[in-house]
Structure 1
């Protein structure tokens, strides 16, 4: 297929964008565990069999700056924060693995968070500052250069998720908390502005539209997903209904007394928009992923099969591969499914691959019982690296894993290099054996001296 695209481009039949998309999509589907480690803490009894860890008690959140795609932030279950430079690594000389050490870290102090981090977000227009949320009821603003907090907001409730618009200049933070309303914080005034009431349960997830700066979506424990326009006095625009596959929700809800149902038959703890804003992906405790048409509110009925798992109140947010790297209408989604990452064709719901970390020796925490998977290796967050074909995953055992493309051609080249290396070593061994035989023959040879 790749040769066909090259031929069509060479003879001028296909434009450059087609070849670019074909090549990039091939790399996306070839993502594999990369020999990369993130090591913040020195492990006791340092041993090559032990895996370096990024956060001692687990990694809860990840984000990468969208400008350079260079700096990665990680938040730990122990309230620690680490900043990593993805271009500043140490190359291990023995096995050529890449090892990262943090540029800076934040440990638990009087000014920092007291409980685990729930979400991280860089500022929308530069990476000089970032926001954090925590189980300690607070949202904080940090300087990326000094990693010191410059402001703190106490919402008097557990904050499960925060969201900043990628396009708006209003700098309003949408917060999902234990309260049945979306809390809004205005970073310009440094105050909590107002709340968006409408859910009947704790709000678990929020996400801003990538094309309409005042439009927000939220999901809650009551299984509902709401759309809001924060400029309006009555902010609620619409509510999704899993039974609505036609898209009559926005009209019928006002004109015919239609009462929308639930988006999921369980809590909704994951929401993400597609880049063009035309579709919304939601994840719920009913072990379902649903794709919605945002123009009509229709459930597209994409079926992702029986392998999807979802539990807990922590955010489960899929990662979407950049659309400019994929063929048209062939969006690819990466879903953090307990101990593995499921790769789906988003509109078809077809499972393309399952990505699993290599088996690793436990570095800390209780071992799993026989026949059971260690719960501490659960995938807790995903982050796609902008401008690259790379993805990073956070795990509850404290590890940050890297995923990079590895094509069959790469594997074949590695095999050839290994064979050449083995052949060279065997040749050296044969030469050494020959020299040893000659030496042994010389030392065993009898030497006689003639009489005088």
Structure 2
């Protein structure tokens, strides 16, 4: 560190290069932060709800997550997370119990001390009225008196240009638009099939939301007209083994380009402006790709091409749109050149585990935080988070939570159940996000960077980078206190010695 400061002062190292060296170190230094807990205030059956229990939950132990097993964000498990990229302040969580909770990450006044976050707003599950007729034949219940979802939340995302609104999708076949400040419903869209995921373009002037559902076609919902304006279908897809669409992701470089991953192992690239929207099918055997062609030339992708040998349930782009990353049940992660569609053959080894029943959320570190070609991929690997080099596939670090793999989770009315603390969703805390950026500044106003993960055991866990000098400052304070105590002891002994030696003794 001192040598880098010297090089910067001498002009041998530019400020941008110096900043990237430091942020690259921070990206490799994440570790669990059990001092941060997310407590929704609910208690399992048989647990007393008292002020003492509440105060106890606000002071978690540094010894691990098992110190207060009754503290959780969602009793039934956390199924989705979203964190706004403008200020890095508002975190939204969705649960398997169909509830949505909004958390203010700036509640913590001192990030170096223990803190229990509490939701600032809760959107409860829609209550059902058994006597009310449902949309189909028979006495199926319909939601009443609340605006929330009926079944588990599968996806959350903020409005692309403002954190004042966010979107959610659910197994109840709906996509909902919410006001963040009021936690109230602004619009609801019936998708006609179970919704697994959705995505909005970070740069587009249009307000199209791509939805991946149980139906093979990708549904596009226009927030302006409040209607499903288009369904993206490739030739031969309907009626075949295409199955559900589990992953969708808009390009951060081209506003009309969309990538989708399906159960048939295909990754499809779409241009939503065209009537024949399919542009390309990524092929795992293609390591050359297609050279840039004239815009007037039509490409004819090979319809039998497969990106993976199993269902594709994870897609993410780099911030500059140069690369697309895909993940599949075949335990492979592949990196694709967005310009040519070629497989870059990045090998992430046999450590990949992908048993996610639904969409897998992974992300790539913002391109401005690392030197070119050194981006980091954050991948939820069952009960841990892998941090890997995006292009080489090498392991940088493995983030494992403190505590047992199996945890006891309270259930309403049925005591407790043992569940695996598998990671269901991860989000990056960054600020200053604009355009296609996901938050080029690490962290928010009260902490220099963080990752939050949702788990099947109902916990939201925090992971923070290790800062140089933070522990030294604590050690310095402790050493200063020890010096003061030592000085007092030495002074007391010296005074006692002087009082004894200063007296004259006479013998008679």
Instruction: Please tell me the TM-score bracket, short chain as reference.
Output: 0.7 to 0.9
Residues 1:419 and 1:77: Cα distance change in structure 2 (over 3 Å): farther
The corresponding residue for 2:159 is 123
- Give the whole-Å Cα distance in 1 for the aligned partners of 2:452 and 2:307: 29
Q: Tell me the residue number matched to 1:107.
A: 124
2:113 corresponds to which residue? 96
Instruction: Give the Cα–Cα distance (whole angstroms) in 1 for the partners of residues 474 and 371 of structure 2.
Output: 29
Normalised to the residue count of structure 1, the TM-score between the two structures is: 0.87
Task: From the superposition, tell whether residues 74 and 202 of structure 1 become closer, same or farther in structure 2 (CA, over 3 Å).
Answer: same
Whether the 8 Å contact between 1:249 and 1:298 is mirrored in structure 2 is no
CA contact under 8 A between 1:90 and 1:99: conserved in structure 2?
no
Aligned residue among 205, 211, 215 for 1:179:
215
Partner of 2:314: 270
Residues 219/255 of structure 1: CA separation in 2 closer, same or farther (3 Å cut)? closer
Aligned to 2:354: 310
Alignment partner for residue 82 of structure 2, among 32, 44, 63? 63
Secondary structure of the residue aligned to 1:271 is strand
What residue is the counterpart of 2:506 in the other structure?
none
Out of 258, 269, 273, the residue aligned to residue 216 of structure 1 is 258
Instruction: Name the structure 2 match of 1:329.
Output: 373
Partner of 1:399: 459
Give yes or no for contact 1:219–1:268 (8 Å, CA) kept in 2. Answer: yes
Once the two structures are TM-superposed, the CA of residue 4 in structure 1 deviates from its matched residue by 3.1
Q: Is the 8 A contact 2:320 2:367 kept in 1?
A: no
Structure 2 equivalent of residue 16 of structure 1: 15
Distance in 1, matches of 2:323 and 2:408, equals: 41
Residues 136 and 255 of structure 1, relative CA distance in 2, 3 Å threshold: closer
Residues 180-259 of structure 1: matches in 2 within 5 Å?
A: 180-198=216-234, 199=237, 200-248=242-290, 258-259=302-303
- CA deviation vs aligned residue, 1:180-211 (integer Å, no higher than 9, x gap): 11001000000011100124221000000001
How many residues are aligned here?
424
TM-score with structure 2 setting the length: 0.77
Q: CA deviation at 1:272?
A: 0.3
Q: Distance in 1 between matches of 2:481 and 2:90?
A: 37
Aligned-partner Cα distance in 2 for 1:106–1:426: 56
Q: Secondary structure of 1:341's partner? A: strand
Give SS of 1:299's match. Answer: coil
Tell me the equivalent position of 1:38: 38
- Residue 89 (structure 1) shift: 2.9
Q: Deviations over 1:48-82 (max 9, x none)?
A: 63142111111111111121111111111101111
For residue 423 of structure 1, report the CA deviation from its aligned partner.
Answer: 7.9
- Return closer, same or farther for 1:137/1:407 CA change in 2, 3 Å cut-off: same
Contact 1:121–1:131 (8 Å) recurs in 2: yes
> Please, which moves more after superposition, 108-117 or 258-267?
258-267
Partner of 2:446: none
Following superposition, the deviation at residue 428 of structure 1 comes to 9.1
2: CA distance between counterparts of 1:195 and 1:313?
Answer: 24
Deviations 1:321-365 (A, max 9, x none): 222111221001110000000000100100010001111694525
Q: Kindly state the Cα deviation for residue 391 of structure 1 after the two structures are TM-superposed.
A: 1.2
More moved, 301-310 vs 144-153: 144-153
Measured in 2, the distance between the counterparts of 1:348 and 1:223 equals: 23
Question: In structure 2, the residue corresponding to 1:290 is in which secondary structure?
Answer: strand
Q: Which residues of 2 match residues 432-443 of structure 1 at below 5 A?
A: none
